[in-house]
């Protein structure tokens, strides 16, 4: 039995709390909102984020983060990526350096362009770190539907420890040493999922979505490799696997947000309508700035950035993508051969 603290009680944090409890671990989950804690205690459900799913009575729920962190072996960072820094800085004194931190958020900080591992390294440099990522909707994990993910850490023993803690008959975990690639794959696919949703909202078909997903994966891998990720990671669960599920499912907040944008809804109204964090909106800004910093050609990301932040017309963005200069599909490979 492992003592686990889940920091963040949204849909994903709640689903993982249920999974870990079912695996026989002692689970304590933190939510910032006292009203939400009271509602969960009263109803036995996290009705706001994970409705119609029973929360086991063994899971302790608290709005006191000190209680949740105290004497835990492993802490799951399940707050949105843009909230990780604040939570860690405000509670830095509560962490023990031996506690393993497992990040499950998927995003890139706007101000610093840091991945979550870089934020953790800055604030809690002595703590062992892993990221858990892959095609995994909370709604399905909570119902024990077969799911497969990746545990990535620079320390092999930490990746394997996390694998052991989370693995179950319905939740298969592979290990991977490529933290950079796994984090970037998980974050950047949300940008492409917005694009896939916009395509749906415009009424376009499967051909369009297939093109967006395929060429979007090229962009993700292109930037990811330049930033130090392993190109093979983007062909795996944290890359193409996560991209597929996020671009095609109505469980995906990013896709649903994209659909509303494609139908002409204003961004502020889209966020209100979804009612939960849409990581891809903030990540689009970070991805655009990273592409500029590393001089990487990311035309889909550039057009989505224009739609979100420069009020660009969505249909004209599609035309821009279709009428770009003629290229070889394997252009990156051709350039390498000719070097």
3-state class (DSSP) for residue 136: coil
83 C-beta neighbours (distance < 10 Å), count: 16
Establish whether 189 is a catalytic residue. Answer: yes
The tokens 């998927």 sit on which residue? 106
253-to-51, 137, 276 alpha-carbon distances in Å:
15, 10, 8
CB contact at 8 A, 184 and 224: yes
Beta-strand (E) ranges in the chain? Answer: 3-7, 26-30, 45-46, 50-54, 60-62, 74-77, 100-103, 129-133, 147-152, 171-176
**Catalytic residue, candidates 48, 189, 209, 282:** 189
CB contact at 8 A, 76 and 13: yes
CA angle centred on 26, ends 25 and 29, rounded to 5°: 115
Q: Return d(Cα 181, Cα 183) in angstroms, integer.
A: 6
Residue 132: closest CA among 276, 278, 16 = 16
Residues labelled catalytic: 189
């Amino acid at each position: 039995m492992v003592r686990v603290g889940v920091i963040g009680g949204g849909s994903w944090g709640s689903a993982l709390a249920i999974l870990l409890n079912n695996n026989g671990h002692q689970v304590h989950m933190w939510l910032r909102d006292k009203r939400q804690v009271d509602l969960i205690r009263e109803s036995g459900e996290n009705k706001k984020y994970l409705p119609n799913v029973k929360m086991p009575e063994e899971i302790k729920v608290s709005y006191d983060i000190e209680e949740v962190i105290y004497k835990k072996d492993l802490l799951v960072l399940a707050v949105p990526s843009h909230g990780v820094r604040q939570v860690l800085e405000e509670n830095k004194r509560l962490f023990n350096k031996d506690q393993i931190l497992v990040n499950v958020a998927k995003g890139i900080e706007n101000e610093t362009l840091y991945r979550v591992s870089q934020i953790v390294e800055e604030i809690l440099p002595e703590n062992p770190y892993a990221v858990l990522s892959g095609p995994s909707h909370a709604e399905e994990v909570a119902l024990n539907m077969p799911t497969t993910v990746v545990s990535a850490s620079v320390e092999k023993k930490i990746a394997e420890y996390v694998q052991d803690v989370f693995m179950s008959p319905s939740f298969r975990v592979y290990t991977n040493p490529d933290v950079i690639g796994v984090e970037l794959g998980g974050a950047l696919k949300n940008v492409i999922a917005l694009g896939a949703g916009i395509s749906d909202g415009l009424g376009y078909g499967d051909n369009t979505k297939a093109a967006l997903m395929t060429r979007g994966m090229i962009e993700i891998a292109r930037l990811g490799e330049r930033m130090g990720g392993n190109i093979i990671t983007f062909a795996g669960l944290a890359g193409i696997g996560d991209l597929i599920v996020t671009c095609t499912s109505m469980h995906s907040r990013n896709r649903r947000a994209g659909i509303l944008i494609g139908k002409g809804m204003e961004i502020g109204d889209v966020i209100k309508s979804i009612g939960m964090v849409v990581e891809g909106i903030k990540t689009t800004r970070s991805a655009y700035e990273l592409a500029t910093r590393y001089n990487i050609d990311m035309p889909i990301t550039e057009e989505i950035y224009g739609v979100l932040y420069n009020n660009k017309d969505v249909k004209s963005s599609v035309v821009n993508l279709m009428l770009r200069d003629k290229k070889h599909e394997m252009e990156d490979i051709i350039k390498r051969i000719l070097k």
